[in-house]
Amino acid sequence: MKEKLVMVGNGMAGVRTLEELLKLAPNAYDITVFGAEPYGNYNRIMLSPVLAGEKTIDDIMLNDEQWYVDNGITLKKGQEIVDIDRVNRKVIAADGSEQSYDRLLLATGSNPFMIPVPGNDLKGVISFRDIHDVDQMLAASKEHKHAVVIGGGLLGLEAANGLMQQGMSVTVVHLMDSLMERQLDKPAAAMLKRSLEERGLHFLMQAQTEAIIGDTRVEKVRFKDGTEIYADLVVMAVGIRPNTELAKKSGIHCERGVVVNDTLQTFDPRIYAVGECVQHRGIAYGLVAPLFEMGKVCANHLAKIGIGRYEGSMTSTKLKVTGIDLFSAGDFTGDENTEELVFQDAAQGVYRKLVVQENRIKGAVMYGDTIDGAWYFDLMRDETDISDFRNNILFGQAHLGDSGHGDDNRVAQMADSAEICGCNGVCKGDIVQAIGDKKLFTLEDVRAHTKASSSCGSCTGLVESLLAHTVGGDYSVAPHLKPMCGCTERSHDEVRVTIKDQELKSIRAVMDFLEWKTPDGCSKCRPALNYYLVCAWPQEGLDDYQSRFINERAHANIQNDGTYSVIPRMWGGGTSPKELRAIADVAEEYKVKTVHVTGGQRIALYGLKKEELPRIWKRLSDAGMVSGHAYGKALRTVKTCVGKEWCRFGTQDSTHLGIELEKMTWGSWTPHKFKMAASGCPRNCAEATIKDLGVVCVDSGYEIHVGGNGGVKVRATDLLCNVSSEEEVLEYTAAFMQLYREEAHYLERTAPWIERVGLTYVKERIVEDVDARKTLAERFLHSQKFAQVDPWKERAEGVDEHEFVPLKKVS
């Protein structure tokens, strides 16, 4: 017989836990759910837009009653559990009925706090927590005029805004002298107050409520200083208290909330708890993102998989008032050990503050333009050392040395028709609608449903902003480390370390050792694992071609019509009549539709059939050419200018240097593509300062620049160091490439990698630590011994023949 799982509290955290459980172990339990509210599970967050008239109750249902039926769950809605008999393992409902359990899940949420003043039980005095409250507010707004909201925090302001949208005249009463004092500092709060006042809200600051006055229905609110104001409706939004009543009564250890450990178990190991009712490591959370993280871990243990621990979350907040962009995370007040970085442009209504300690972000407050909120949040979570870009950090990620697409920033003000994702043509309106209609909470969800941000990724910040703006916080938060993909909980770094430490030498071995959740991974993790293995064990020939993206498997670039392109290497951008003749011959013979001079100083042939590739490669190979790896996460091109040999300004032989660099590095597999250039003087005709590694020749020698990118987001390089000989350039390059190869995440280009680990770190390893540089360079050259095999020549001679010929031709 199946075990019985009973859940008390049919809210967002609990049901999310069940969803996660059903994904992992659909048939593990007979599940019964008790919910005091007479509905399925709805998106409580969206009560604010419902109140503001932007959504309806139907829009915000997450799991309707059919969902419970479809999943074999018994839903007892409108039934409150009043007691738990832990000895006999059963729960008792208000109507006296009983239900036994093997495991019990408490998800009772929290209760709004009603300030204990006379009159707080009068008709028309309510809280803002559930559908019932919203119904009452909407009804009041039809018959009455004056609303008073007590509490100038997130919830209070959203309530006030909603009531104002419904036509009421609203006064917000706040005890402190500054709004949202737990999320905002004074300047940001002042800007917020000003714009809310412009919209028509009234504020009474530093006002302490003394009594609520009325016969049966509220009529007035009186304050300590004796003033009184009219009120037909009073909404109390002064805070919430974890709902521990049931747990306490049945003897489960509670403090402020129900105390749980890292596996979300209460003091009684058969009883789990998740959500706002919980206190974990001293913290009770009041936002959805951490609750969902809890749900995930809890489900894992209920499913008896037993891996994963909840280790706490960092949270960020947003105010869901249409047209107002506001972001806050972490410790934004600081103390004597912290510094503040502030940017303020009052005319534009923009304010940003970062609280920094020892060059690490501790907190952030932003008002007016919050596009970079997600970025600051990441930097904070990863504890990134910001010293290398601290001078520019307040201008935002888009301004780290670039032009980029980072201009049109204010998502709140954008029209619905504004295009957010240029690759897939997705507009703001599409995304906002999908978030609502399809109940999306994470960036991954939005990508899957709308395709926005799923291609080149340059609009990720905008999408995150929109998401936060629509659902009110950062939903992509993982407690500590981001998992590689849905197949595992492990991060890239953990996987890389384990491969080395455990001497794992196949994708299968990695998946088995780290308990992959899928039988053979997915198109995200397999290529990554393959690369990590190839990089860790160069000598062993571990390359698993079936785990490579088609371009790297076929050694040519797949095109939109299923044909392929061929781009042979032209060392340092140079070529010869013999090579050109061979290319011309091939182009004629195979009726090549397009011959194109690429952006990387070489020639590309387009529209080739896969079957023809080995024969074409043979022709090019006979003329002495090798693969240009234009298809690979690999060394691509080394652009050069003519340099000292011809140019009147040339200081060194940049062409020769470029060719030497390319000869040393070609064939190397890298986490993402790797491009180089060498310019003969600071005029920099080879555009060395937007390459992964660029050399600018100067009279005294060579400047080595790293971490540039000319792609999606232009980033100019950082200067690594100056050296005086070609030999040194080669050694530093080998060392730099190897450091990148060994430590970057798969598909992380040098630019974001350097922004993540910091230039200072790279300098320490490559410039300051001579031994480290030499051993890195040695490891690079060692691995090149096995990598520098021309894949085209091999295939022209018959390797992987099956890849290029059909299995059969049937006529």
Ligand X SMILES: Cc1cc2nc3c(=O)[nH]c(=O)nc-3n(C[C@H](O)[C@H](O)[C@H](O)COP(=O)(O)OP(=O)(O)OC[C@H]3O[C@@H](n4cnc5c(N)ncnc54)[C@H](O)[C@@H]3O)c2cc1C
Residues in contact with other proteins by the rule CB under 8 A: 438, 448-449, 454-455, 518-523, 526-527, 545-547, 549-550, 553-554, 558, 560-562, 802, 806-811
410 binds, among ligand SRM, other proteins, ligand X, none (CB under 5 to 8 A by kind): none
Q: What's the longest Cα–Cα distance across the chain? A: 101
> Of residues 636-655, which lie at the interface with ligand SRM (CB under 6 A)?
636-637
Q: Which of 22, 31, 45, 326 binds ligand X (CB under 6 A)?
A: 45
Tell me: does residue 242 bind ligand X (CB under 6 A): no
431 binds, among ligand SRM, other proteins, ligand X, none (CB under 5 to 8 A by kind): none
Q: Which is nearer to other proteins, 319 or 528 (CB)?
A: 528
Query: Which of 92, 84, 236 shows the shortest CA–CA distance to 153?
Result: 236
| Contact criterion met (CB below 8 Å) for 507 and 530 | yes
**Which helix (DSSP H) or strand (DSSP E) does residue 229 occupy?**
strand 228-230
Per-position DSSP letters for 85-150, written without gaps between them = ETTTTEEEETTS-EEE-SEEEE---EEE-----TTTTSBTEEESSSHHHHHHHHHHHHH--EEEEE
142 binds, among ligand SRM, other proteins, ligand X, none (CB under 5 to 8 A by kind): none
d(CA 127, CA 114): 8
Alpha helices in 412-491 (DSSP H): 428-437, 443-450, 460-471
Q: How far is CA 643 from the centre of its chain?
A: 43
108 binds, among ligand SRM, other proteins, ligand X, none (CB under 5 to 8 A by kind): ligand X
Angle ∠(103,109,115) on CA atoms, nearest 5: 145
280 binds, among other proteins, ligand X, ligand SRM, none (CB under 5 to 8 A by kind): none
CB of 567 to ligand SRM, least distance (A): 5
518 binds, among other proteins, ligand SRM, ligand X, none (CB under 5 to 8 A by kind): other proteins
Q: Which of 5, 6, 14, 729 binds ligand X (CB under 6 A)?
A: 14
**Which sign, positive or negative, has the C-alpha torsion 193, 197, 198, 201?**
positive
449 binds, among ligand SRM, other proteins, ligand X, none (CB under 5 to 8 A by kind): other proteins
Query: Could you tell me which stretch among 11-19, 343-351, 476-484, 723-731 binds ligand X (CB under 6 A)?
Result: 11-19
Q: Which of 235, 630, 659, 776 binds ligand SRM (CB under 6 A)?
A: 630
> Of residues 126-185, which lie at the interface with ligand X (CB under 6 A)?
128-129, 155
Tell me: does residue 422 bind ligand SRM (CB under 6 A): no
Three-class secondary structure of residue 6 per DSSP: strand
Q: Which is nearer to other proteins, 417 or 560 (CB)?
A: 560
Q: Which is nearer to ligand SRM, 16 or 673 (CB)?
A: 673
370 binds, among ligand X, ligand SRM, other proteins, none (CB under 5 to 8 A by kind): none
For the window 65-84, what string marks contact with ligand X as x by the rule CB under 6 A?
---------------xx---
- Determine the residue with CB nearest ligand X: 11
Q: How far is CA 87 from the centre of its chain?
A: 44
Tell me: does residue 709 bind ligand SRM (CB under 6 A): yes
Q: Around Cβ 3, how many Cβ atoms within 10 Å?
A: 13
Cα–Cα distances (Å) from 427 to 59, 437, 577, in that order, read 20, 15, 50
Per-position DSSP letters for 266-279, written without gaps between them = -SSTTEEE-STTEE
Q: How many residues bind ligand SRM (CB under 6 A)?
A: 21
Per-position DSSP letters for 241-264, written without gaps between them = EE--HHHHHTT--BSSSEEE-TT-
Query: In what side-by-side order are the strands of the sheet with 316-318?
Result: 316-318, 326-330, 360-367, 350-357, 339-345
Q: How many residues bind ligand X (CB under 6 A)?
A: 35
Tell me: does residue 705 bind ligand SRM (CB under 6 A): no
Residues counted in the chain: 811
d(CA 674, CA 301): 42
527 binds, among ligand X, other proteins, ligand SRM, none (CB under 5 to 8 A by kind): other proteins
d(CA 308, CA 299): 10
CB of 715 to ligand SRM, least distance (A): 8
Q: Where are the beta strands (DSSP E) in 544-673?
A: 557-558, 564-566, 594-597, 603-608, 635-640
For the window 666-685, what string marks contact with ligand SRM as x by the rule CB under 6 A?
-------x-x----------
Site residues (CB under 6 A) for ligand SRM? 557, 559, 565, 567, 596, 598-600, 602, 604, 628, 630, 636-637, 673, 675, 709-712, 749
